Amino acid sequence: MTSAYARLVLHVDGGARGNPGPAAIGVVVSEPDGQTVSTFGAKIGETTNNVAEYRALLKGLELAAEHGAREVHVINDSELVARQVTGVYKVKHPAMQQLHRQALAALEGFDGWSIESVPRARNAAADALVNEALDR
């Protein structure tokens, strides 16, 4: 990427139809003023909602790094993932532990980061990308 951004906002979402079931991720990367930098939506195979949420977070962090972001603010609608990443909740499931470690390692690549969980309605663009990918 040719552009570098001091701070990017990542709206990330993952979902599965069935749990586990066909799953997809959606990511909207934007500037703090809301201007969209890039979007991404894709099927990720059969998995659980929680795994899909982590995979969306990882893809969002990858895209932010590609755009040269030094700081990221992650917005998702998974309270579990947000609280696990901030250390409020422990990660007990082995598959989730690996994704958790990958997310923390990716976050270390930024000078600063924050994550917040919001109601699905405040994450509608990323949610729409998940559903579009699943409907394809």
Asked if residue 1 is part of any domain, the answer here is no
Structure confidence at residue 32 (pLDDT): 96
Per-residue pLDDT tens digits of the chain, which is 136 residues long = 446 899 999 999 999 999 899 999 999 999 999 999 999 999 999 999 999 999 999 999 999 999 999 999 999 999 999 999 999 999 999 989 999 999 999 999 999 999 999 999 999 999 999 999 999 9
| Residue 58 belongs to domain with CATH number | 3.30.420.10
| Tokens 């003023």 -> residue | 33
Report residue 52 as tokens: 């899909």
Expressed as residue numbers, the domain containing 81 is 7-135
Asked if residue 66 is part of any domain, the answer here is yes
In the three-class reduction of DSSP (H, G, I as helix; E, B as strand; rest coil), residue 54 is classed as: helix
Asked if residue 25 is part of any domain, the answer here is yes
Asked if residue 2 is part of any domain, the answer here is no
* Nearest CA among 70, 107, 64, 59 for reference residue 85: 107
Q: How far is CA 73 from the centre of its chain?
A: 10
Domain count, the chain: 1
Reported pTM: 0.96
